Structure formats: C-alpha cells, structure tokens
Structure 1
Amino acid sequence: MKIVDIHIYGYGQLENVTFSDLENFQVFFGENEAGKSTIMAFIHGILFGFPTKQQSSELRYEPKNGAKYGGKIRIFHEEHGFAVIERVKGKAAGDVKVALDNGTVGGEELLKDLLSNFDKSLFQAIFSFNLHGLQNIHQMKGEDIGKFLFSAGTLGTERLARTEASLQKELDSRFKPGGKKPILNEKFHEIHDLHKELKKAAAKNQEYEQLVEKKLTLQQEMEEITISLQELKEEADKLSEWKKIRSLVQEEKQISKELKEMGDFQFPVRGIERLEQLNQSIRPLKGQMISLQERIDQLKQEILSSQPDLSFLENESVLMSTLDQIPLVEQMMLEKQKCETRLTEMDEKLVLLKEKLHLSINDEEILAINTNIFMKNEVESIAKKGQKLIELQQDLEKRFQEEKDSLENIEKDVQFAESQILSEKERAILEEQINEGSDKKGLEIEWTTVKDKMKFYQDETKRERSLQQQRWIQFMIFELILLGFTFYSLKSSQWVLFLLGLIGCIMMLIFMTNNFRDSKQEDIRKTLDRLKEKEKKLQEKLQSAEFRDLSYLIEQIKLDDHRRDNLQILNIKLEGQQNQYERVIAKFEDWEKEAREHKKKLVALSSNLRIPEYMAQSHLDEAFELIEQFKLVGREKQHLLERMKQISLEQARIAEEVNFFTNRYLSETNKDLHKIAYLLRNKLKEEHEKYVKCTEKQRKLEDFAADIQQLNREHQQLQFEKEQLFNEAGVEDEQFYYEIGNKAEKKRKLLERLFILQEQLQYSLLNEAERESFLQIHHAEELIAEYNNKALTLKSRLTELQEEQASIKFEIQVLEEGGVYSELLHQFRQKKFELEKEAKTWAVYHVAQDLLANTIEKYKNIHLPKMLAKAEEYLSFLTSGNYQKIHLQRSGTGFLIERKDHTLFEANELSQATTEQVYVSIRFALATTLYENFHFPIMVDDSFVNFDARRTQKVLQLLKKLKKNQIFFFTCHEHLLNSFSKESILQLTKNTIEIHS
C-alpha cells in the first residue's frame, strides 16, 4: 500500500494542508512544533480512528480555531487499485468513508479489508518507528535489555517483555518457596498454626466427637429408609398404571396374534379402487375406436372419387407466366412501330452530320474512328495547348519590349553616376589627410588613459601600505602573547607548554617574514615607472606633429562614399535587369520549341481522326464533337434494329407456348389468344378447387388415423396397468384379485387399530418388558395394599429417627456454643477457603506464564530463524561487518551478539549505540520478513538522533534499500537533507508548508 496524497481539513495546528504526489522515500523536514508528529498521528487517525476521550494517553489533536476535524488520504492498494479514505468527526473514533476507483463505497469493513485487519497497536509496533523504542533501551537494566530486544523481534514493541515481567511479578507476590511475605506463604503458616490449636481443642472435646459420630449414623439410616420408601412408591405406581392399561395390552396381543396367523402376502395399495377405475376407462375407449374407423373408411371413398389433374397443376407457374405475357404482345407491336419511326429519324440525322464533316470516307470508316476517353482528353489537351501558346506569344512580346526599355534607362543612370565619383588618386589624398588627423585624437585618448592608470596605482600603493601596517601591529600583538605564554611556562617548569609556546613563536616569525615581503609594492612601483615613461613619449609625439581641420575632408569622403553606394546599387539593378532581359529571350526560345512539339502532335492527331490538317488547326474541338455525335447516332440506330429483331422473336415464343397448353389441356382450339387465356384460367381454377378439397379430406383422414392410434395406445396402457395389478397381487383373474383385496383390507384395519393401541401405550410408565411381566399378575389390588402397609411402617421409623437426630443436634450445639473448638474450627475453615481462593488466582497466572513460554518457544523454533537471518544481514551492514551474528539464548528470552572475532556478548554488554543498532536491525527485519506480504508505509520519526554521522548514514542507506515499503522520514536535522534528493523533501514551517529547494 502506498500513500499518494494527504489532505488535512483540521488536525492540531494544521488546517487545510495538502501533500500531493508523495514519493516512495518521502522526507518531512521541519523545526520543532512544525507539525511532523501531527502528520504522523493524522495518518494513524485516518487509518485506525481518532483517539477517544477515554484514551487519555493519546492526544486527540482537535483544531482550536473551529476547523473541520479530520481529513482524507489517497492510497494505491496492490489488490484494489486507487482508493480515497476520508475520516471526519463523528461517533467514537470518527465517521469513515472509503471510495474505490471502480465505484465501490464502504466504511469500516472495507477499510479493514484494505488494511488486512491490522489494528492500530500492531501497525504502530511494526511499521511506525520513533524515538520511544530507543529510549526504552537507555532506561533498562542490563539483564532486561536482552528480553526487550526479543520482544521487539516478535511484536515490534516491548509488550512481550513487559507481559513476561508482569506475570513473574504477580506470581512472586503470591508465592515463593521459602518466602514469608507472599500471600500464599502467609496463609500456609496461619492454617498450620490453627490446625495445631484445633487438635488440642478436639482432645478436650471427646464427647463432642461421639455425638457427631452418632449423628452421622442416624443420618445414614434415614437416607436408607427414604430410598426404600421411594422404591415402594414406584412399585405401587406401576401396579396402579397396570390396572389402567391391562385391557389395552391384552387387545394388542390379540391383534398381533391375528396378524401373525394371516401371514405375509402382497396386494397393491388401493388395489380394488384402482382396478375399478381402469375398467371404467377401458369401456368408452373401445366405442370411440369403432366410430373413428367407420369415418376413416368413408373419407377414403370420397378422396378416390375427386382426384385433381396433378400434371396440369405442376405446370401452373409456367402457365401463369405465359398468360401474364399475352398483354405484352400488343405493347410489343406498338414498340415495333415506334422503332421504325425512330429509325427513319436516325437516317436523316446521319446524312446531316456527314455533310457537316465533309469527309471523303464512308459510314463504316467514321464509326471505326477512335473516340475513347483518352483520345478525347488528348484532343482537349492539344486544343488548350494551342490556345495557351497563342496567349503566351502575345505576353512574351509585350514583356520583351518592357524589359528592353528598362535596361536602356538603367544604363543611362549608371553612366551618370560614374561621372560623379572621385578618382582613386583624389580619394587616396583625402584619406591620407584624414588619417593624420585621426592619429592626433588617438594619441590624446591614450595619453589621458595612461594618466588615469598612474593615479590608480598611486592610490593602491597608499592603501597597501596602510593595510600592511595594521597587519604588522596584529602579528606583533600575537607574537608578544606567545612570548609571554612561553616565559610563563618556563618559569612554572611546564616543559610541554614551554615547547608548544616556543614552536608557536618560531612559526609566527616565519609567517611574518613570508607574509610581509614587499613583492606587491615592488610590482606596483615597476608598473608606475613604465607608465611614466609611456606618458613622456606620448607628450613628445603630440608636441612634434602638425595637424589641420578635418571637417571639410570628412564631408568630401562621406559624399563620395554615398555616390559610390548609389553606383553600386545601380550596378546591381543593371545586372538584375540584364538577367531579366535574358530570361525573356530564353522564354521566347522555349516557346518556339513548344510550338514545334505542338504542331507535331496536332498532325499525328489529325491523321488518327481522319480529318485534314487545316481543319485540325482551327476547328479540332468541333470536328471531334461531330465525329462523336455521328458515332452516337450510328450506335443508336444499331440498337433500334436489334430491338425490333428481339420483339419479333418474343412474339413468336409467346404464341408457341400458348399453343402448347391449348393442344394438351383444351378440347377446342381458337386463334384468339385472349379467349384461349380465359379458358386456361378457368380450368386451372377448377383443378385448384379439387386439389384443396382433396387435401382437406386427406388432412382429416390423417387426424382420424392419429386419433385412433392414440386411443389404441391408451387402451394398451390401461390393459398393461390392469395386468400389473394382477401381477402385484399374484393372481390371474379378477375373482381371485377381489378375494385377496378383501383380505388386505381386513389386515389394514387391524394394523390401524394396532397403531392406535401402540400410540396410547407409548405414554405409559411401564415399558414393554414390564408389561409382559405384569400379564402374569392377577391380584394387583392386594399387592398395592401390601406396599402401602410397608410404607406406613417405614414412615413411622423415619419419624423416630428424625426426633432422635434433633435431640443430638441440640446437644452438639450446646457443646459448640460453650467451648473454643467451634471458634477454632470456623477460623480454620475460613482460612482454608481463603487459601484455596488465592491458590486459584496463582494457578491462573502460572498457566498464563506457561502458555506465554510455550508460544515463545514455538516462535523461536518456527518464525524467529527467518527474521534473525535478515536482522544479521542488516546488523552487519550497519556495523560495517564488526558484528555479524545474532544467537538465541538456549533458555529464556534474549540474544547473544557475535563479533567478527567470534566473541559473544550479551545485550547488556554492548555499547549503547551498538545496542540501538541491534534494535534497529531487528525492527526492520521484522517488517521485511514476518510481515513481508503487508506493504504498509514505514514511518520513522527522528529515531537516530543519538547516532554519530557514520552510523546515521548507514541507517539512511539501509532505509533506502527497503524498496517494497514506502518510507516516511520525519526529521528536524538540516544536516541530514544532503543525503536525500531535493524532489523527496517537504519542508514544514510553523505557519506554512512548502517544498524544500
């Protein structure tokens, strides 16, 4: 599980705070009271509920400014995907709402499923790591450290060690062998003393013991009499019960005897009734079968007398198709007349088109000319190309004249510009005069620069001398202090300090000698000398040279530069215009080439179209269009001729088909097609009516056959059921069947009566064996009277014994009230009861200790080895291999730590820092082995403040290796931030929360 986002509505000092896109290793850095512990408690509260008011040991972090108490976190779960857990103030631990990305919404049950039913204490013990665990190690005695580490390796906290110590403390407070203060030891001594005093009192009270013995004898005799009275009462009750049920038992015996004499035989259940029902069903079935057979014979005769002409009906589709075509004959005649008229028009149109073309070729040759789409595209292309060449020729002629005029104008401008510029000799003279003037300005600027540098170095020399004097004073003061320290050490005979002081003085002198060399001032002095010499040379040069005013010369050079620039621009324009002129001439040449190609294609195309060349040059489109029209009209004429031929053939076919049906199915022949069609339709209708009637009768015949077949099956089924009844009864005819049926009915009634008797007898006090024995008794009244007399005698004796027992009790009471024995006996019994009560409490704690010891032993043998192997790996890493093994002690709960030289140490023998490293190794191993399937975030809150820098870096490196769990590291130590990437650090302040950079 990974925490992705945190949104705090209000929790402690934090209000409306959001953390987004949390890293796998997230560092929260801030000063004290910046909110680190609050964020950690907030995560615990959202996952497991807010602390209740009864849990005084935990802070509730309720907002003081009225903000909404609670917040939400967004997590990624390996099984359920992304989920949002929101908890706000409500009943008890707050109201929680869980929403999954797939739409599922739930409460505490869904949250427990996401958290694998972890509770808060277990989560904090395994995955929440703070300074508290390490502080416990510092506060423990030496012998308890091993137990604490073992407890941390099992539960993640010291609870196991606390529980074990608590149980032992409870046991020791109740009993110790040879002890005096524990409760059970005190009770044993008290009972022992009371038992001695009780024996002394009993020796003086012999009469009391005799009375007690006699009381016990009387009590035993009274119990025996009570048992005898109970037995007599039970015997009398049984005899009374027998008097009530004797007639029922005798009737039961009689019925059982009759059933035994009847023997075993089979007869169907409700056999007589079922046989009569079958007979009633069979009789009407036979009548129905006879009636249906008569109707079937009648229908067969009717079908034979009205059979249709099936061959005529089979040709119905062909006949109807032929008859439907008869009206088309007249339409075909009309269409044929129209075709003849249209054919005449086509001939006239062809003559007209041929005259327009005025070609010396016949019609077949015209029709053979290729006018497909490719030829048409070529005609259009060549025609467009010819028009385009004419337009291009006109455009080129116009552009040629324009470019020629522009070229002549630019050539005139160039000639004028060349006449305006200075010659090269005149320009060289002016530039030489200007250069001389420029040298003067440069020398003046250089002289000023040299003077500024000299002033800077002179100021720097003054500052350096002042600083050197200050440093010299400081070093002299330090030297004097060291000399004083050296003389003091010599005077007080502290030779080590004297030697140190002497070395310090010598080193200070060497340092002063090296530091106060005048190398820098020497360099500055040399630089000043060079600058002064340069200043002198420049001044001499300025005084010896002759200079004049340069403004006029510069203006002349600028004007010449401007004219030269204009000339250069005009030359460029001239070159461009010449290029344009040449391009127009080149285009003229390209046009002539294209014109020759166009003429060649035009000649080839006129040959293919069989038209003269002059016609192709001026009227190519019109000639091609007329040829297309001629071919179109010619094809249409061919289509009309073919259609007229098809009409004639179709008329002949229809007449032939009608004659076929007339000759085969009609007696009279007639040349009128419409009358013949009418007669054929009437005959078809008559045959259809015969076919329909015959089909209906055939369907009825099939229905009757199915009905009679069904009745036949029912009749056979009823006969089969009747024979089954006979077989079950073991007879062959109905007479024997009825005799056995009567016998079965009688047996049924006897069984019903027997069942009723047994129902009544099952509530009797007497069981079946007792009822059998009582059948031999004939004088039950006399036996009852005898039992009553014996009971009266025993009751009289019991009354006498009760009176004697009351007298003895009174005498014992008098003795107990008058002596010390009764008091001692009461005290002895009271102390014995208290001892038994305390012993039970001691036994409970002892059993709990045994259970805890057995559980620890099982954990040591099964789960602990895997955890210790990982803890050894972590410890070796944290201690750089100095400590490599963690061994279990053979008895009890504790560890032995093995150093790399194979020396074993108990936990209390290790240094404080090494003990903390063992604890850290065990805690991390517990989370990554025994709980490796639970990938909850591990939260560490400044738990390594007592480590030095090397140990701290080792722990941080180990944390970074725990890739399966998200790590939240809370710290207030800024020097640790260099160990993490900037993206993983969130900086917390008391007022705001910002990303650390």
Structure 2
Amino acid sequence: MLKVYSTREVTNVRLKEATIFGFGKWVDYTIDFTDHNFICIYGDNESGKTTIQQFLLFMLFGMPPKKRADYRPKTSSKMGGRLTVEDPEAGTYTIERLHDVRNGKAVCYTPDGNEHGETWLQERLNGMTKETYQSIFTFSAVDLLDIRHMKEDDVGEVLLGIGMTGSNSIHTLEKQLEAELGDLFKPFGKKPTINQQLTSMDTLYSSLQEYRETKDEYRTKREKLNQLTTEMEQLQVQLDEAKDAVFRLDKKLQAFPVLKDYQKVKEQYQSYPEQLTFPENGIERLEQLNEYLMPMKSELSVLQHNLEEYKTKQDAIRNDFYHSDVYEQLETIIQRKQNWLDCQQELHRYEEAIQKLAWQIGKELNQLDAGISVDDLTSLQLPFSAEKIWNQVKRDNDQIVVMKEQLEREHKQLLKEQAYLNEQKDKLQASLTDEAQEHALQETIRQYHHEEHMQWDLAEQTNQWDQLKQRKEKNALNWLVVGIAMCVALMVAAFMQGAMYLWGIAGIIFFVSIGQWAVRKQSFREFEKMFTSKRPQSGQVTEEMKREAEQLLSESEQKKQELSIVQDKLQSNEMEILKWEEKQSGLNQRENRLNKQIADQYRQYPFLERIEIAYWPAFYHTLKHVLDLQQDKEQQEWEYDKRLQESKQFENWTERTFRDMNWEDTGKSVEDKLADMEHVLQKYRDDLARMEQYDQWIAETEARRRQIQKKMRVYEEALTQLMTVAGTDTQEEYLKKGKQLKEKQEYANRMSELDNQLARILPGDDYETFITMELSEEHVLKSAYESESDRISELERTIEKKRELRADMNAELAALETSESYSEALHRFTIEQEKLEHLAEEWAVLKAAKEMLTETKRNYRRNYMGQVTEKTTYYFHQLTQKAYNAIYPPEENKPFRVEAKDGIRYDVNELSQATIDQLYVSLRLGISEVMSEKHRLPFIIDDAFVHFDPARTKQVIALLSEVSQRQQIILFTCKTSVVEAATNVSLIESDSSVRIPLP
C-alpha cells in the first residue's frame, strides 16, 4: 500500500540570513532566506551561484587555509561573513567566520548575549561534517552523470551504496579492498606478494639445510682458535706488566737531575732565620702611604691662601649697598611693570575692536535690508523659541510643496497603470480558449493514452495467442504422427496374420487422424482471423497531436493565471487611488494650519513680511549674529574705560618714587624711568649673588681643609702601625728587613716549583719513596731497567709465534665461511619469515575490514533501507504521475526494481534514462528525510534538473514544495525553465540581494 505523507510544521534547522563580508566575487552582499522554506537562487553561468553555495558550507563547517585562499576577494581585504540560523532547540543564533581571525574558526552569538566556539557549533550540528552533509543533503547534475557513466549491471549496486551512505564511496571502497586482497594472496596464484614470499622462503630453507652439514667441522676449529686466543691474551698481560715496570724505572732516571736541584735549594732556604716579623706587602704599603701624603700637604697650603682672598672681596661689595627698604619698593614697582605694559596693549586692542564691531554692525544691517536701524537693536528681543518656530514653518512649507509634486506624480502614475492593466485584461480575455475547445484537447490526450494502453494489451494478447497456437499445433501434429504410426502397425499385423478386420481398423484410424489434424488447422485459421478483426485501428491520435494538445492546454492555463494576476493588480490599483485621495485631503488641512501660523509671526515681527519664508532660518541666524555683535561692542567699551583708569594710577606711582630717590628725571618717559629702576635692582641682585658665591666658596674651602686634615691623620696612623708591626723605628730599617723576607720567599717558591716538577714526572706512590732517595742509588735503578727490557723482548717473540699460528687457523675457517654462510642464511631466513608474518597480518586486517564493511551494509539495510525505500516509493510515485506504485530494493544479485500501476515489474536498467534520474532524485529525497530526523539541516540542490523536460521539471518542483513544508530547501539554477516552473518559490537573483516577490 502506497503511504501518503501529511504535511507538518517545520522543526528543522533553517537558514535566515547570510551576510558576505568578502568571499570570491561577493563583497558586502546580503541574502535573506526568511520568507519561505523553498528558496530558488537564480543566475547565469559564472554569476557566482557556486561561490554562494561554498560560502554556506564554509560558514557551517569551515574550510582549510589553502582552500580559503582560493576564495579571497580581489576588491577587499576582508574574507568571511555571518550566517544567521534558526534552531528549534537553541533558538536563533549567528555564526561568524573570518579568514584572518582565529584561523577561520567560528564564533556563535546566541540571543542571551553569550559567545560560543567551534565545539558548540559541532554539537548543534550533531557532529555533522562537510563531507557527510554533501553526501546526504546536497546533490547536482554531476551526480546524475555519475550514474550514466556506470555499467548497466552495476547500476543497482551503486544505487544501494548511495541509499546506504549518501554517495557511491562504499562501492569504491569495497572494490578497493577486493583488489588489495587479490594483490596480497591467491590460493593458486604466483604474482601476489604473499605467494612470491612463500616461494622465496622455500628456496632459503633448502640452502639452510646444506649449510648445516658443515657446521660440526667449523665448530671444532673455532674451539681451537678460542684456546689459542686465550693463551695470547695471558702473554699480553705479562708483557704489559713488564712494560709498565720499565716505564716507571725510566721516569725515575729522568727525575734524578731535578732531585739534585731540589736538595740544593732546600739547604739555602734553611740558612735564613726561621721567623721574620714583617707586615704583608709591607714595602708596597709604605710607598703607597707616602704617595698619598705628599699631594695632601701641598693642597692644604693653597686652601689657606684662598680663604683670605674671598673675605677681602666680600667687604668691598658690602660698602656699596642702599638701605633694604629702597630695594623692596623698587621690586614692587618692577613686578607691576608687566601688568602696565599688558594694559597698554589691551587699550590699543579694545580701540581697534570697538571700531571693527561698529563697522561690521553697520555692514550686516545694510545686507539684511529689513528696515532695522542701529538704535532698534537696543530694544529688539529675539527669543530662542523664535528660531524653532521659523525653522518649523520653513520645513512645513517645503514639505507641503514636495508632497504636492509627489501626489501629482503618483496620481498620473496610477491612472497610467490603470489604463495599462485594463488593456492587458481585455487582451487576455480575448485570447482565452473556450471550454468546448479545452474539453476537445483533453479528450485528445485521453484518447492517446487509451490507444497506447490498448496497444500494450494487444501485444500481450498476441504473445499469449502465439504461444497457445504453437502448443496446439504441436499437439495436433503429435496426434497425427501417433495415428499414422498405429495405422502402419496394424497394416503390418494384418499382412502377417491375414486378418482383414485389421485393415479396416487401420483405415479408420488413418482417416480419423487426418480429419482431426485438418479440423484443428481450420479452427486455428478462423480464430486468428477473428482475433485479427478485433484489433483496434492504430494511428487515430498521434504523439505529435498529443504534444500539441498538451502545449495548448499549458498555454491556456498560463493565460488564466496571468489574467488572475492582472485582475488582482487592478484591485490593488483601485485601493491605491483611494489612498491617494485621503493623502490629498490631509495635505489641504495641513496647508491651512501653516497659513495661520505665518500670519501670527507677521504680527510679532513686521520686518518678516519683507523676507521669503524659505530664508527665515538663515535670517534668524544673521539677525541673532548682529545682536551678538552689538552686545560685544558694549562690553568692549566698558573694558576699555576700566583698563585706562588702572594705567593712570601706575604712572603716578612711578613719578612719585623717582622724586623721592632724588634721581634725575628731566625729559624721561615712564618706560625710561622703569628701565633705570630695573638697572639699580639688577645691580643689587648681582652683588647679592656674588656675596652668596663668596660665602659658598669660603664654606667649601673650610670643609675641604678639614677633610684633608682628617684624611692625613688616617694615613699617618697607618704609617706608624707598619713600623710597629715590623719592630723598627725608621723607614731605612723597615726597608732592610723587608728585603730579607723577599729573598727567603723566593727560595721557598723555587722549592715548590721543583717539588711540583717531580710530582708531574713520577706517579703518586713512586714520588713518596723517590723524594727521600739518596743520590748514590742511581746505579741500582739502571741495573733494574736493563733486566726488565730483556724480559720484554722474550715475551714479544713468544706472542709473535702464536699470532702466526692463529692466522693459519683463521685462514682455514675463512675457507669454510663463504658469502652464503649458515649464519647469514639463517638471518635472512628469519627476516623473510618476519616479512611473511607482516604480510599475513596485513591480509588479515584487510579481510576483516571487508567482512566488517559487508556486515555494515547488511546492518544498514536492516535498520534504514526499509524507511528509505518507503519514502523513496512515495516520491517516485508523485514524480512519475503515479505511473509506478512500488520500489523493491536489491536482493542478492538483483538490482533495484520498480512496479508499474499495471503490476508489471521492471529492473532499473530496463527504465529510460529520465526515469532513472527521477528514481535517483526520489532516493536522495528519501535519504535526506530519514537523516533529517537526526540532523535537521537544509537541503541544497545545484542544477540537478537541467536534463528534465518541462513537464518533469514542474513535477519535481511541486514535490520539492511539499518537502519544503518539513525541511528547508535551497535550489541553485541557471535555467529559466526551472524559474518559470517555480511559481510558489521565493526567488533570489544571484546578481542582486533584493528578493523578487512572489506573484
């Protein structure tokens, strides 16, 4: 029973909006997916549809850096964008990916204000990868071509692989495993790797058996060689011991001259007193103290002379000073000098500013030409509210003018559109096909299908009649042959027995057989004539007539739809005209209110009657500026009078001070008198600075003198301490005692050097005994040296003889050891055995993988193939206009089979290519719906219907519309026929981000 799926509310993940910052050719581009669940993105080839599809995959699953580089925009430095997704569980969230930020990883912004990373996004997609998504939820015309390129016998298996995994990868993987297993091992093969390895090991084993025969002889000679080597090693030990003894005796003989020098230096060292009291580095310390004391004594004399000179100069300066009150008064006047100078500059500036403001005010009033004088400015008040009112009046007036022009244009456009729509309505009504003609066209199509069905039935009946006819003719012929055979037998029996009745019976049987055969032959001819007379007349309705009728019906249906659209637009036009009349009425009321407001302003400000309303805001600012200038002028005049009074007071004070000091002031200006006061005050400051400098120098000199005296006391105390330690009273005695200590130290150093030299020549044990040896024992060492040398020569000769004997034995063993020796062959056999084990393990892994793949296919078939087949059957039933009622999945070596509505079953390779394409599309839709119950993702189709005729295109678009009620579908196409068929689809042109509204 064919199952019909009811529509339900979409609970799958939906794409709402895509914003492309930069991706391929697209920069700052937005796509709105909000309105419908079935979106068609239309554009010509090379218009960027594939780039948009890759952008959606990039936002959902990311992209490797090398592949991202292929989509970097040429006209922008930014690459990436945002994708807004509606999830029934997580709500609406936005995915953001940028090429140069976080290495292209996603950041997801959720409605609660939180940010999430790539891991959170993968959890929302239930672990879906890009490859899995493309194999289940996307397909294109290329996938259909892959089916066409396969062999007919493999079509069923490839469809099964697609049904199980969403692609034909499982088929390829299984073939690859079989090929690799065959390359490794075949039971009766020679070329596979494991077969060759087994052959090689058989050869090695044979060689190994040959080498084992010579193993015993080799072992005996090897034992003798080992014994000889042991004896040589023992002799070598004795030789090494003798050489070591000779080496030690030789070292002692070399050290004898050094021993003689050591004993001589030791006698000279012992001639000095055992104890010499003297400071450490005493001579150098004495010389250093004398070097420090001499410059200090010289500097102390110079400092005393400088002190006397500084005090004399201070007394001379102090006699030239005025009284301190005089300097305080001069200081006060000079401090206020700068204020007086600034006041003079401000007076000059105020005079210029007042003149400039007066000239500017007059100029501005002349430019206004509003009948306002300078005297009027003092009484004129211009509140802040006036600006707001004048601006509002100006805006209202401008808006009314613009709205009048706009309404006039809208009225003309509406009338023009109404006339055009009426004209289109009349044309369409005139071109419509009447009902009688439509009924005749439908009857033509029905008659064509009826005749086609009758032809199929006739062919089936003809086939059955031919089979029955052959079977009946064969039976009639058999009866004829049997009758003739019986007749001949009876005739023979009658001839031999002479029985006449047998002749009669034979004749009866013969005529009966001939009659039966002739009657059946005649009945076959009459029945075939009757069957032929009942055949329907063919060719009354041709296929061309049927296609022409379908085309005329399609055109008629399209014109009806266009007429309905025109009528809807006419109704909308009438509503727009009513809205226009309401707008015109509201504009008139608004204009009346504005005229009342303008009259009120004329009463308050009569001068506005001379100004156009468009210039009121500018006039306000200009008039406000003139009033501000008048206030600035009045403020400047007040400040000028204030500064002039302050300047007069300072000048009178300066004149009075100059007279009190009895200084000559004939013909001097205020500036000159101030300069004289500054000169007197500056001389006083310079003298004070010199007095302070002399005080500082005197203090520094005194401090330096005390410091030098204190430092000298330290050095003198150190000098006295050196004399006390050495036990001398004068420096001469001190130097003599230091010389003796130096000579004794030199002898001690020489003894240490000779002792170190002996220690380097002799080992540790020999050194301890040799240092106390008498010089007369030298001849004993020479005698022992000669004895050990003779023993070394004898041992070397014995070792040489045994070395020659070992060389002969090595030569004999070398004759037994060839390049293919036993150990080498055994080693190679072991290596080859390990290689064989590795190959066997690899074969076992591949065999297990193939078995697991086969078991996985069976499990998948048990778990999902039933659901996929059920949904595929429903979609295939709809796409083929209910021509097929059932689909049967592959069984053993049988491919997919379909059952037509008449009950006849067809293999998939017996169908037309277009029907195979429809079966493939149905299968992919069924897979997507089964998988969407877990993954809930949109379905993307890329120009998969380019080879469909218009009728099949309409059928598949209608089916996708039904599927879109449960799952969002995005269709990319460059074919206008697909766009024309998609009448209930949200259409987006790829060269514009503006959505084309639905009709």
- TM-score, normalised to structure 2's length? 0.37
Q: Which is higher, the Rg of structure 1 or of structure 2?
A: 1
- TM-score, normalised to structure 1's length? 0.37
